[in-house]
Amino acid sequence: MRIAICVKKDIHGLLAARNLAERLAFAELGFFCSVKTRDAENEVPALRLMKLLERDVAIDTFCTLEEPRPGFPHPERWTALADMKADGGAARLLAFRPDIVVSARFSLIFPQRVIDAVPRGIVNVHPGALPGYRGLFAPFWQILKRESELGCTVHMVDRGIDTGPVLGVARVPFDPTRSLMAHTAALYRGGVAIAAEAVATLARGGQPPTTQQPAGGAYYRFPAPADFAALPVPIVTAQDFAEVLAAAFPPRAEASAAGVASRRAAA
């Protein structure tokens, strides 16, 4: 059984990939990452800050200091996909011959030829309640719209964008004391757990139950500076960033054991 894990090369993608690797260790795993940077991420100050923290600092700086961990390839060894063209990213993904693809925070749209080529389907973790929050930056828009509860929808991928049959929804209460980053991390954490369970069922040859999305919904794009100005919580706080970093770079078991032994000896 081959399972392709497709994420974005940022801190939330790293967290998703690490959690999926632990839960799907029964399969042969391939790790793929989108490396696309949209113009808005360099033009809108708030988006520029998020890119700095989530990618430039977390991945391009801290992650490069990390040694590889057993059973989990270093992000520098993930297969980078710049597009989903037939002779480009799609070919590189399908060369792995995945039976299942699981996508979490992946920045590229799977074309129909890729969907048709994956025997047991593509499972997507979308950090928004569907169908009301399709598209980009769903955690942001849910907070801006003053939702009391945010949703992360896990669904099968079909020919539409965030339109496929729903496998489950993880729900996170809105907390006005926490940042956008903290809410985003919590949404993905819940969604990945649902996705891993569905993927395990598909891997066994089963069919997890799904429900069709209701008609209607809305599609969102990147927020503008005025949207960020209206956001009722900070984009990030030092405490929330430290918490997400700690989850992304947990201490190694051997280092933890050595620390316990050292403290016992000192006592």
Percent of the chain with pLDDT over 90: 87
Q: Which element (helix H / strand E) includes 179?
A: none
240-266: average pLDDT: 69
Residue 39 has pLDDT above 50, yes or no: yes
Distance CA 153, CA 211 (A): 11
Residue 165 has pLDDT above 50, yes or no: yes
94-108: average pLDDT: 97
Q: State both tokens at 149.
A: 């509860």
Beta bridge partners of 219: 134
Distance CA 53, CA 234 (A): 14
- For domain 2-249, give its CATH number from 1.20.1440.60, 3.40.50.1980, 3.40.630.30, 3.40.50.170: 3.40.50.170
205: phi > 0 → left, psi -120 to 50 → alpha, else beta; which? left
In the block, tokens 């050595």 appear at: 258
- Domain boundary assignment for the chain: 2-249
Amino acid 253: pLDDT: 64
Model's pTM, two decimal places?
0.92
Cis (ω within 30 of 0) for the bond into 209?
no
Q: Which element (helix H / strand E) includes 6?
A: strand 2-8
Distance CA 224, CA 85 (A): 29
Distance CA 212, CA 193 (A): 20
Q: pLDDT-derived band of residue 68, with 50, 70 and 90 as boundaries?
A: confident
217-245: average pLDDT: 97
Q: pLDDT-derived band of residue 256, with 50, 70 and 90 as boundaries?
A: very low
